[in-house]
C-alpha cells in the first residue's frame, strides 16, 4: 500500500497574495510557524514561494549594495529580491507543487533534491491550492502501528518471494523488521528484502532468511568425475565391481 500526500498533508493553505507586503509575509510565517509561504495568483494557483532565505537577503549588505554589472544572473536575482517589498518581487518561481495523490516517497524526494521543507498541494484538475505538506508530515509514516506494518509486510512476503507468511517469522519493533525462514532460491532473499524496505514506515530490515540446501560442491565434483572419462575409444568403460548395466554408454559407440 503506497501512502499518498493526502494521507498526511495539512488542509490549511499557507499562502499569501502576489501583492502581499513584506510584513504580511513575515506575519504569516510566524502565525503558522513555517519557514516559507506559497504565493497565489487571483485564481488561487501557486505561482511561487517566499522563504525565510528570501527575506533574509535584506540583511546581507553584500547582496543589497554590491555592484551588479560584473555579477552573474544568480547574484542579480538575489539583489532584485533584496530590493523587493511585495511577494511578487520576493518570491522564487515557479512553485514546486504536489497533488493529493502524489506518493509520500516522491514528495520526500522533491524536498530533498530541491532543499525545501514544505510543498503546496494543488488540485490536479484546477491547479488551485488545497493544502500544504511539510517535512514533519512526511515523517508521520514512521509512526504506523506495528500490526499495520506487519499486515503489509505479509503481503510482500507472499508476492515477492511466493512464501506462505505463516511459515516465515516476521518481527516488527521500533520500525525495524526482522524476517526469517527458508526460501527456495537465494535470489528470492534479495527481492524480499528490497520489497520490505519499500514499505512505508519501515526503518530498517534484518534478514534471518536462508536458501534451501543445494548439492554440495564435493557432490557435484564426484558426479562430474564419474561422468567424464567413462568413455574411451568410443566404448563404455566399466569400473571394477560396477555392474555391466550401469556402465555409461557413449553416443559415438556402436
pLDDT tens readout for residues 135-151: 999 999 998 888 888 89
CB burial readout 198-218, b (16+ within 10 A) else e: ebbbbeebeeebeeeeeeeee
Kindly state the cell numbers that stand for 111.
524536498
Which pTM was predicted? Answer: 0.69
What is the reported pLDDT for 214? 57
Question: Element (H or E) spanning 24, and its range?
Answer: helix 22-32
Low-confidence ranges of the chain (pLDDT < 50): 63, 69-70, 217-220, 223-230, 244-254
CA distance 200 to 105: 8
Contact (CB, 8 A) for 177 and 153: yes
What is the reported pLDDT for 7? 93
- pLDDT tens profile 214-246: 555 444 455 444 444 445 555 555 566 555 444
C-alpha distances in Å from residue 160, one per residue of 69, 144, 157: 60, 22, 6
What is the reported pLDDT for 235? 54
Residues 6+ apart with CB under 8 A from 79: 63, 64, 66, 68, 71
Peptide bond connecting 42 to the previous residue in cis, omega within 30 degrees of 0? no
17: left (phi over 0), alpha (psi -120 to 50) or beta: beta
What is the reported pLDDT for 62? 56
Amino acid at each position: 500500500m503506497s501512502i499518498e500526500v493526502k494521507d498526511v498533508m495539512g488542509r490549511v493553505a499557507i499562502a499569501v497574495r502576489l501583492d502581499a507586503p513584506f510584513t504580511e509575509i513575515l506575519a504569516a510565517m510566524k502565525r503558522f510557524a513555517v519557514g516559507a509561504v506559497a504565493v497565489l495568483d487571483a485564481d488561487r494557483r501557486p505561482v511561487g514561494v517566499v522563504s525565510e532565505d528570501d527575506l533574509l537577503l535584506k540583511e546581507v549588505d553584500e547582496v543589497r549594495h554590491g555592484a551588479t554589472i560584473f555579477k552573474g544572473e544568480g547574484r542579480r536575482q538575489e539583489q532584485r529580491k533584496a530590493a523587493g517589498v511585495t511577494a511578487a518581487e520576493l518570491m522564487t518561481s515557479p512553485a514546486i507543487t504536489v497533488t493529493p495523490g502524489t506518493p509520500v516517497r516522491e514528495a520526500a524526494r522533491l524536498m530533498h533534491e530541491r532543499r525545501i521543507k514544505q510543498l503546496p498541494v494543488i488540485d490536479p484538475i484546477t491547479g488551485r491550492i488545497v493544502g500544504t505538506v511539510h517535512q514533519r508530515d512526511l515523517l508521520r509514516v514512521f509512526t504506523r502501528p506495528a500490526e499495520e506494518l506487519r499486515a503489509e509486510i505479509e503481503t510482500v512476503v507472499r508476492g515477492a518471494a511466493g512464501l506462505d507468511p505463516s511459515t516465515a517469522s516476521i518481527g516488527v519493533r521500533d520500525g525495524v523488521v526482522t524476517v526469517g525462514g527458508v526460501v527456495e532460491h537465494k535470489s528470492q532473499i534479495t527481492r524480499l528484502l528490497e520489497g520490505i524496505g519499500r514499505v512505508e514506515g519501515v526503518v530498517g530490515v534484518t534478514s534471518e532468511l536462508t536458501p534451501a540446501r543445494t548439492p554440495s560442491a564435493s557432490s557435484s565434483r564426484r558426479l562430474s568425475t564419474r561422468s567424464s572419462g567413462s568413455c574411451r575409444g568410443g566404448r563404455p568403460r566399466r569400473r571394477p565391481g560396477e555392474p555391466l548395466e550401469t556402465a555409461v554408454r557413449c553416443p559415438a559407440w556402436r
